[in-house]
């Protein structure tokens, strides 16, 4: 679905020659959720359109910057600057933190904001709560990949979620909202409480299929035709390629679960080669081990465009690094929905020094 560019103030100056004050809005998590809920199919289209723009060179997506802490080695905050052209026409940056210790206190691991900038003036025009945007763009990307990478094989009927947090929940929501039906839903998490909580969510949400909490990771993987990795793992912990002998489709959303030997036995699809093969991801470790990128078959855009056909008799692994352009596309979609509803919270006078000489 085309997204309307943010309207630039016109004229840029008032009748006295003084500049008009650009507006700045704050969009809360509640507003974002209401803007996106129930529109999963549209969001998959929005994400696929962003992939196509990126593949066509109509985006700017620099490497993400990682802020790490010597006294908090498991925590990080990441900056994802980006610019997306086409009908979206927006610049911006996502600032997302990952503090795994939060879960022990009952807080989600990740929190984020997204700043949208007007490409004509450079002025930021909105700040959006972005953990929901980030989860939605990840889940939309996963749903797109699941559908596109399964076209040459029988549609998977048994899905397994390795990791039972927010991303797993959103991935399940987007899969079912885009037409997936499962006979079996498997769950595994190193935290029994998380696995139990996700199972309860699935059962209460009316998810079709029998829900099983598996006692170990191998059992989950071997029993699933579609495997969704959504963990907080910092390094590979799945080393046995034999677990994948049945050749499932693997959505490797958390990027650091699979050892290089597993990837070398699979057809590997990424969202962007340069971005994915860095920061200690499983594909990055595989490149370091082999000294080559030949194990990467191509990108999801290659699949969307028909340049890459995925064989039905091999394990397929989709490893998305998570592009900032996807956050911009989904964030702009949410902003437009809230703006059309008339519920934008505009901070009057946010920009103050607008006269060059006072």
In 85-165, the DSSP E strands lie at 90-98, 110-117, 124-129, 158-162
- d(CA 309, CA 73) in angstroms, rounded, equals 40
Q: Report pLDDT for 150.
A: 96
If you average pLDDT over residues 251-270, what whole number do you get? 98
- d(CA 251, CA 222) in angstroms, rounded, equals 15
Mean pLDDT of the chain: 92
- d(CA 103, CA 82) in angstroms, rounded, equals 29
97 burial via Cβ count (<10 Å: 0-12, 13-18, 19+): middle
CB 320 within 8 A of CB 141: yes
If you average pLDDT over residues 93-120, what whole number do you get? 92
- d(CA 312, CA 144) in angstroms, rounded, equals 17
- For the record, the structure tokens of 339 come out as 């703006």
Q: Which CATH architecture has domain 25-133+324-346?
A: 2-Layer Sandwich (3.30)
Phi, psi of 176 (to 5 degrees): -70, -35
CB 108 within 8 A of CB 131: yes
CB 56 within 8 A of CB 339: no
Half-sphere exposure of 92 (CA within 13 A, CB side): 31
- d(CA 219, CA 323) in angstroms, rounded, equals 32
If you average pLDDT over residues 16-33, what whole number do you get? 82
Supply the DSSP symbol for 180. Answer: -
- For the record, the structure tokens of 116 come out as 């949208």
Query: Which residues sit opposite 326 in a β-bridge?
Result: none
- For the record, the structure tokens of 9 come out as 């103030």
Q: Write the CATH number of the domain with boundaries 152-319.
A: 3.40.50.720
Query: Which residues sit opposite 210 in a β-bridge?
Result: 184
Assess whether pLDDT exceeds 90 at residue 283.
yes
Cis peptide before 11 (omega within 30 of 0): yes
SS3 95: strand
If one compares 19 and 71, the residue with the highest pLDDT of the two is 71
Domain-wise residue ranges, the chain = 25-133+324-346, 152-319
If you average pLDDT over residues 90-111, what whole number do you get? 91
- d(CA 127, CA 46) in angstroms, rounded, equals 20
Q: Could you tell me how far CA 201 lies from the centroid of its own chain?
A: 21
Assess whether pLDDT exceeds 70 at residue 329.
yes
Q: Report pLDDT for 207.
A: 78
Largest CA-CA distance found in the chain, in angstroms, rounded: 74
CA distances from 282 to 65, 265, 267, 299 (A): 18, 13, 14, 16
Q: Mutual orientation of helices 29-36 and 131-149 as an angle, nearest 10°? A: 30
pLDDT, one tens digit per residue, over 26-74 is: 999 999 999 999 999 999 999 999 999 999 999 999 999 999 999 999 9
32-35-36-38 Cα dihedral, nearest 10 degrees: 140
Q: Could you tell me how far CA 192 lies from the centroid of its own chain?
A: 25
- d(CA 305, CA 43) in angstroms, rounded, equals 19
pLDDT, one tens digit per residue, over 144-153 is: 999 999 999 9
Ramachandran bin of 319, using left for φ above 0, alpha for ψ from -120 to 50, beta for the remaining angles: beta
If you average pLDDT over residues 91-100, what whole number do you get? 95
Q: Could you tell me how far CA 253 lies from the centroid of its own chain?
A: 8
Which residues fall within 8 angstroms of residue 106, CB to CB, at 6 or more apart?
none
Assess whether pLDDT exceeds 50 at residue 129.
yes
If one compares 12 and 222, the residue with the highest pLDDT of the two is 222
């Amino acid at each position: 679905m085309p997204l309307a560019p943010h309207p630039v103030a016109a004229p840029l100056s008032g009748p006295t020659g003084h500049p008009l004050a650009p507006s700045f809005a704050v969009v809360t998590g509640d507003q974002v959720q209401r803007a996106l809920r129930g529109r999963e199919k549209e969001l998959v289209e929005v994400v696929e359109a962003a992939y196509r723009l990126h593949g066509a060179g109509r985006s700017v997506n620099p490497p993400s910057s990682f802020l790490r802490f010597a006294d908090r080695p498991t925590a990080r905050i990441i900056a994802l600057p980006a610019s997306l052209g086409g009908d979206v026409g927006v610049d911006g940056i996502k600032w997302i933190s990952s503090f795994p210790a939060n879960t022990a206190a009952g807080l989600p691991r990740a929190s984020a904001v997204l700043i949208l900038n007007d490409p004509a003036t450079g002025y930021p025009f909105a700040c959006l709560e972005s953990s929901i945007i980030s989860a939605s763009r990840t889940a939309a990307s996963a749903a797109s990949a699941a559908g596109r990478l399964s076209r040459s094989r029988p549609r998977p009927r048994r899905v397994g979620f390795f990791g039972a947090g927010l991303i797993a929940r959103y991935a399940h929501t987007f899969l079912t909202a885009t037409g997936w039906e499962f006979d079996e839903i498997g769950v595994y998490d190193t935290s029994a409480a998380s696995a139990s909580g996700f199972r309860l969510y699935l059962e209460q949400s009316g998810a079709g299929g029998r829900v099983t909490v598996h006692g170990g990771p191998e059992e989950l993987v071997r029993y699933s035709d579609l495997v969704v990795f959504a963990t907080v793992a910092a390094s590979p912990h799945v080393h046995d390629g034999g677990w994948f002998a049945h050749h499932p489709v693997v959505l490797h959303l958390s990027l650091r679960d699979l050892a290089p030997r597993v990837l070398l036995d699979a057809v590997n699809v990424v969202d962007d080669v340069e971005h994915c093969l860095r920061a200690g991801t499983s594909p990055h470790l595989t490149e370091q081990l082999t000294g080559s990128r030949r194990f990467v078959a191509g990108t999801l855009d290659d699949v969307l465009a028909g340049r890459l056909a995925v064989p039905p008799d091999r394990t397929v692994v989709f490893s998305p690094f998570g592009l900032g352009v996807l956050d911009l596309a989904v964030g702009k979609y949410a902003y437009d929905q809230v703006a059309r509803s008339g519920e934008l919270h505009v901070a009057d006078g946010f920009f103050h020094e607008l006269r060059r000489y006072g």
